[in-house]
Structure 1
């Protein structure tokens, strides 16, 4: 019941409420990016969603398109703006994804959607994680995020899909807020069983 009906209803209602609540912040950030960084405020990219169907994800733009003499993009560290660093650290760069939730392309909680060029659907772990809508945050994000290797992230994503409940979603949501305030990521090793040896 929760997975099929309640979760999507909660997502839509809370996304609509959050959009009205954060609308002044969305407008302010857009203006700051436009005038301080001289950039289009929004970053749009093709990502892979539920059932491996692609969709366009929305984020605030945190990097310039600066290139070297050969026309290649500079590395990420040299392209991230000062405002962009703050947006990433605070998680506010993800706010535009409220629109993705309202379009039923994303959920608040779920596996993070990856760019289409990262996806190898021949890999079972990757293929299975597309059984649900992707999320703004998820179990892998609060467990270790970039410190985790890809197979471990996929394992966490699939564990979430098999065990999702309202209480697990609430737990992930609260720990996302906790970790975004500068606290360490949560260790879920005692919760999620190790993969059995083949």
Structure 2
């Protein structure tokens, strides 16, 4: 049922958001050299690596590490990168990953392939059994501000509480967080 929900919602969202997607793609192309979409290696269900797309918000020479590990993250942003990240518009291409089945709307955010500490903790808690999500319980409870052990504890809580109603609650909370830009890093 969750997969059917994801497919229907992703198709509806893609249709409703086609114009903003095209506008953002054009703005990325016009404001910085490089590809429009950045494909990063992410850890999916059962720790399988998949390519996750995002509108490129960072310069093409940015090191491939989590943003919080960069010494001065803002120096790597494209001219519209901060706006894309604060508005979460950089996440729109992930509708493709949801349609493809690599991601769900709700689940733990997919780790970067080199976030060994996060991957190990999630595996130890059984969270690796979940399909990663566009948003998740950890995202609506602190997003980028949470330390990794706390994120994993919230991911594990989601693993045990998951249901359609809980997913709908998380989606609603996500919409509120995005609209208020709460918990968004640069």
Do the structures match in fold with TM over 0.5? yes
Q: Which of 80, 85, 106 is residue 83 of structure 1 equivalent to?
A: 80
Per the TM alignment, residue 39 of structure 1 is displaced from its structure 2 partner at its CA by 3.0
Where does the alignment leave 5 or more consecutive residues of structure 2 unmatched?
63-69
4+ runs of 1 displaced by more than 4 Å?
A: none
Deviations along 1:122-162, one digit per CA (max 9) or x if unpaired, are 83544421111000000101101122110010010011011
Unaligned runs of 5+ in 1: 1-5, 68-72, 186-198
Q: Please give the alpha-carbon distance, in whole angstroms, between the structure 1 residues aligned to 2:58 and 2:39.
A: 12
User: Aligned-residue CA RMSD in angstroms?
Assistant: 2.0
Alpha-carbon separation, structure 1, partners of 2:29 and 2:111: 26
**Aligned residue number for residue 41 of structure 2:** 46
Match of 1:167 in 2: 165
Write the distance in 1 (CA, Å) between the matches of 2:148 and 2:43. 16
Structure-2 residue corresponding to 1:116: 113
Count of residues in Structure 1 that have an aligned counterpart in Structure 2: 175
- Pick aligned residue for 1:15 from 4, 10, 23: 10
Cα distance change, pair 42–121 in 1 and its aligned pair in 2 (3 A): closer
- Please say if residues 126 and 154 of structure 1, whose CA atoms lie closer than 8 Å, have aligned partners that are also in contact: no
3-state secondary structure, aligned to 1:56: strand
CA distance in 2, matches of 1:66, 1:75: 14
